Amino acid sequence: MANSGGPRILGRIFVLLILILALAGGGVLWFDYLNIIDAKTFLAPVFERIPFLKGSGRSQASLPAQEAQLDLDAERLAVRLEALELRNMELDKKEQDIQNRMGEINQMAQDLEERQKALDEREKSFNAQLSDADIKNRNIESNARNLTGMPPERAVGILTAMDDQDIIDVLRKTDEIAQAEGSSSIVPYWLSLMESGRAAEISRKMVGRPSGLD
C-alpha cells in the first residue's frame, strides 16, 4: 500500500506542472493578443534553445517616432497650405489690379469716344460752314458777273436795294474778277452813280474792313 502511493503523488505533481505551464502559456498568449507584451520577445531565451522556434520578436513602431512623423507631416501640410493661401492672395490682388486697370482703360476709351464724337461734330459744323461759305462765294461771284454784264444804271439800282455788307461783298468780288482777268474794274463807276452819302459810307467800310474779315 505504501509503495503504490508514491506513483500517484508523482502523477498528480506532473499533471499540476502541466496545468501550470498551460495556464502560464495561455496567459502569455492572452497578453500578447492584448498587445501588452511581445510573446516572442518575452520567450526569446526559450526560443533560442529550440532551433525551429528561433526568430525575432514582433516589431512594433515606437509611438514617439510615429508622433514625431505625424507632427512633421502636419507642419509640412501647414506650410503648403500657407503657401497656397499666399498664392491665392497674390492672385486675388493681381485680379483686382487687372479689374482696376480694365476700368481705367474703359473710362479712357469712353473719354476718347466722346472726344471723337465732339471732333466729328466740329468737323461737320466746319464743313457745313465751308459749304455755306463756298455757296455764298459762288452766289456773290455770280451776282458780280451778272451785274457787270448789265447797264451800269440798272446794276447800281439793284446794288442800292441791298444792304451795305452785301454791296461790299459784290464790289470786292467784282474787283477780284477784273484783276484776275486783267481788265479795269467797273466798281468806281458804280460808286459814282450812287447817292454820294451812301457811296461814301460803303467806300469807308470797304477801306476799314479788309475782305478777309468779312
Q: How confident is the model at residue 1 (pLDDT cuts 50, 70, 90)?
A: very low
Q: Which tens digit of pLDDT belongs to each residue from 155-181? A: 999 999 999 999 999 999 999 999 999
Query: Average pLDDT in the 52-68 region?
Result: 55
- Calculate the alpha carbon distances from 24 to 6, 28, 30, 43 in Å: 27, 6, 10, 12
Model pTM?
0.43
Check whether 56 has a pLDDT greater than 50. no
Q: What is the mean pLDDT of residues 61-81?
A: 76
pLDDT of the residue at 40: 62
pLDDT over 90 at 61, yes or no: no
Q: Which residues of 124-135 are buried (b: 16+ CB within 10 A; e: fewer)?
A: eeeeeeeeeeee
Q: Give the Cα separation of 126 and 110 in Å (integer).
A: 24
Q: For position 207, what pLDDT does the model report?
A: 85
* Residues 142-147, mean pLDDT to the nearest whole number: 93
**Residue 47 confidence (pLDDT):** 54
Residues 6+ apart with CB under 8 A from 164: 201, 202, 205
For residue 150, give the C-alpha cell: 448789265
User: How far is CA 107 from each of CA 115, 118, 190, 196, rounded to the nearest angstrom?
Assistant: 12, 16, 63, 66
Which tens digit of pLDDT belongs to each residue from 86-123?
A: 999 999 999 999 999 999 999 999 998 898 988 888 88
Mean pLDDT value across residues 68-81: 84
